[in-house]
Amino acid sequence: MDERAGSTVRVGYLGPMGVGQRDTLPVASESLQVEQLADVSQLRERLPALDCVVVAHGPTGTGWGEVLDAVEAGAVDRPVVVVGDPAVATEALAAGATEVLSGDPTDPPTALLTHRIEQAVGSSDHDGSTAFTRSVLNTIADVAYVLGPDGSFRQWNRELLDLTVYDEEALTGAALPDLVVREDRERLADAVESAASEGVTETREGALLTAVGDRVTYEFNVTPLTDDDGTVEGLAGTAREVTERKLREQRLTVLTRVLRHNVRNRMTVVQGRTEQLESTIGADPNLDAIEEAASELVALSDKARRVEAALRESSANRRALDVVDVAETTVAALAREYTRADLTVQAPEELRARTTDGLTFAIEELVRNGIDHNDSDPPSVRVTIRREAGDEADHSDDAGPEMVSITVVDDGPGIPETERVALTTGRETDLEHATGLGLWLVNWVVTAAGGELVCDSCDEMGGAKITLRFPAAGA
């Protein structure tokens, strides 16, 4: 029979006390009421009235193995916290202890011991889930943690301890924003508050000070942990170093901007001087070739600028978009530019998918390619949009999430085999070098937007067939 009552947590303690020892078990919470137990026999007698058992394994203390056996054999199940040296703690955890605390059993750190007891009692089924959670966290190579709704640490892995200046006792009273430098704490606190209040995963970057004093950029994420009713009971997440990635992105951004700016400016000069020469010496095929090449480079520079903007659309910017509206608006604008082309859209009135604003560039680029690389008179391009079942999209027998497909077909010469091979393998070689950036750019943008690109031949129209797929979204 369970004799527990009220909100007070009754802790039964077996360990070294008396002469030269503390008068009682050191705890830092008024809700914890410690009862000194003389031996395992008294433990068996008092077990139904206790919420937790703490055993300090030392030269004059009771062995943790006897305590675990007594609890296991009892009529009620109670969590057991073992305090002892690291070797003892490891063995006790493997044997079924709910929580362990490495340290001097005669003088355990007050705050950390209190935290361990509260963690053990908080595991309502007392099946070792707290210890299991810690063991799972320790298998993660990145920094990993479990937080309260306010961002305070509840669980963490060894990587966090090894990386930061905090030890276990210090982490007990710390919160996630405390890991980063002062100027980044508000950003991380906002992520915690948003994840807890909105029930969504949040990601932020912050500079973490390591144990050796280095300032390293980490990407932190926090995901809500909810009960069956959807109430947020805590948060979990990981942190990964992104210093090298950030530096690489900054280098690429600067180089891209400088090259794009210089190419456009120089080509504008070439175009202007070519026009002056034409007015001086008259029409000349060589000047026409120079002007055409300069115009193509200027257009490529403009395209690079648009791709760079589209690729900045991260997964956090994905949302439900009416792809029919995006396609019809894009094709209508191109129809005004290419007045001789036959452009059509076949689609329902509305169809929504999870994607980003980069979809506009992808559709525009595919339609432009279908017109520009087409000798038909007039060139024809058709955009078809429909909803697909999951098994239809991946050609398997397993039902998956519904997808929205956007297929662009034309009556041009089709896609060169070298370009298809390059896209399929994800790389170009000397023998398989794609002739243009078009499909690569679209593929990058679509992938960043959370979709996939499939290229094929169109049996009906005889040209290229490009299909983009994105997860379907509700209305």
445 and 324 in a common domain: yes
* pLDDT level of residue 434 (50, 70, 90 thresholds): very low
The C-alpha atoms of residue 187 and residue 185 are separated, in whole angstroms, by 5
Q: What is the pLDDT of residue 200?
A: 85
Instruction: Kindly report the backbone phi and psi dihedral angles of residue 178, in degrees, each rounded to the nearest multiple of 5, phi listed first.
Output: -65, -15
pLDDT, one tens digit per residue, over 380-394 is 999 999 999 765 555
The answer on 326 and 445 residing in a single domain is yes
**What's 233's domain CATH number?**
3.30.450.20
Q: What is the pLDDT of residue 392?
A: 57
H helices of 312-416, in order, are: 323-337, 358-372, 390-394
What pLDDT, on the 0 to 100 scale, is given for residue 404?
Answer: 94
pLDDT tens-digit series, residues 302-348: 777 766 666 665 555 778 899 999 999 999 999 999 999 999 999 99
Q: How far is CA 262 from the centre of its chain?
A: 36
pLDDT of 128 > 70? The answer is no
Rounded to 10 degrees, the C-alpha dihedral 9/15/18/19 comes to -140
pLDDT of residue 213: 74
When divided into structural domains, the chain yields a total of 4
Give pLDDT tens digits for 152-169.
888 888 888 888 877 777
Q: What pTM does this model have? A: 0.49
**Based on the domain organization, do 182 and 106 belong to the same domain?**
no
Q: CA-CA distance, 197 to 199, in Å (whole number)?
A: 6
Helix axes 285-311, 358-372, angle to 10 degrees: 150
Instruction: Say if CB 175 and CB 152 are below 8 A apart.
Output: yes
Residue 125 has a pLDDT of 45
Query: Cα(44)–Cα(125) distance, rounded to whole angstroms?
Result: 20
Tell me the sheet residues that pair with 145: 156, 237
Residues 466 and 347 in one domain: yes
Q: What is the pLDDT of residue 185?
A: 93
The predicted structure's pLDDT at residue 315:
54
Give me the pLDDT at residue 435, please.
46
Mean pLDDT for all residues in the chain: 79
Q: Report the percent of the chain where pLDDT is more than 70.
A: 75
CATH code (residue 71): 3.40.50.2300
The model's pLDDT over 454-465, given as tens digits with 9 standing for 90+, comes to 887 666 666 888
pLDDT score of 50 more than 90? no
Which residues are paired to 215 by β-bridges? 209
Please give the residue range of the domain that contains residue 261. Answer: 244-312
- Residue 62 has a pLDDT of 52
Nearest to 341 by CA among 371, 299, 362, 305: 371
Alpha helices, DSSP H only, in 321-452? 323-337, 358-372, 390-394, 417-425, 438-448
For the chain, the residue count is 475
Per-residue pLDDT at 224 exceeds 50: yes
Compute CA distances 444 → 24, 89, 311, 423, whole Å. Answer: 64, 50, 7, 10
Q: What is the mean pLDDT of residues 63-92?
A: 75
Render the burial of 136-158: b for 16+ CB within 10 Å, e for the rest: ebeeeebbbbbbbbebbbbbbbe
The type of residue at 64 is W
Please report which confidence band the pLDDT of residue 122 belongs to, taking 50, 70 and 90 as the band edges: low
Taking the CB of residue 85, how many other CB atoms lie within 10 A of it?
Answer: 13
The more confident residue out of 200 and 408 is 408
Q: Quick check: helix, strand or coil at residue 298?
A: helix
- Single residue among 87, 112, 137 that ends a domain in this structure: 137
Same domain, residue pair 65 and 125 = yes
Quick one: 100 and 182 in the same domain? no
Domain identity same for 192 and 262: no
Looking at 137, 156, 181, the residue that finishes a domain is 137
Is the domain of 303 the same as that of 364?
no
- Please tell me the distance from the alpha carbon of residue 299 to that of residue 267, in angstroms, as a whole number: 10
pLDDT at 289 over 80: yes
- pLDDT over threshold 60, residue 406: yes
pLDDT greater than 50 at residue 275 = yes
Q: What DSSP letter does each residue of 121-175 carry, written as one string?
A: HHSTT-SSHHHHHHHHHTT-SSEEEEE-TTSBEEEE-HHHHHHSS--HHHHHT-B
Could you tell me how many helices (H) and strands (E) the chain has, helices first?
15, 17
The reported pLDDT for the residue numbered 271 is: 81
- pLDDT range class, residue 191, cuts 50, 70, 90: very high
CA nearest 218: which of 180, 182, 255? 180
pLDDT for the residue numbered 321: 92
CA distance 53 to 134: 20
Assess whether pLDDT exceeds 50 at residue 442. yes
Mean pLDDT value across residues 56-62:
55
- Mean pLDDT over residues 6-31, rounded? 64
Residue with tokens 């980069």: 358
Same domain, 271 and 203: no
In this structure, the answer to whether residues 132 and 180 fall within a common structural domain is: no
CATH number of the CATH domain containing 358: 3.30.565.10
Burial class (CB in 10 A: 0-12, 13-18, 19+), 49: middle
Q: Which residue has the higher pLDDT, 362 or 133?
A: 362
- Say whether pLDDT at 376 is over 90: no
Over 70: is that where the pLDDT of 110 sits?
A: yes
**In contact, 153 and 145? CB cutoff 8 Å:** yes
267 in the same domain as 216: no
Asked if residue 276 and residue 353 are part of one domain, the reply reads no
Owner of token pair 């190579």:
141
pLDDT digits (tens, 9 = 90+) for 409-431: 998 888 877 777 766 666 655 44
Out of 199, 220, 241, pick the residue that ends a domain: 241
Strands 215-226 and 99-102 come out as unpaired
257 or 208: which leads in pLDDT? 208
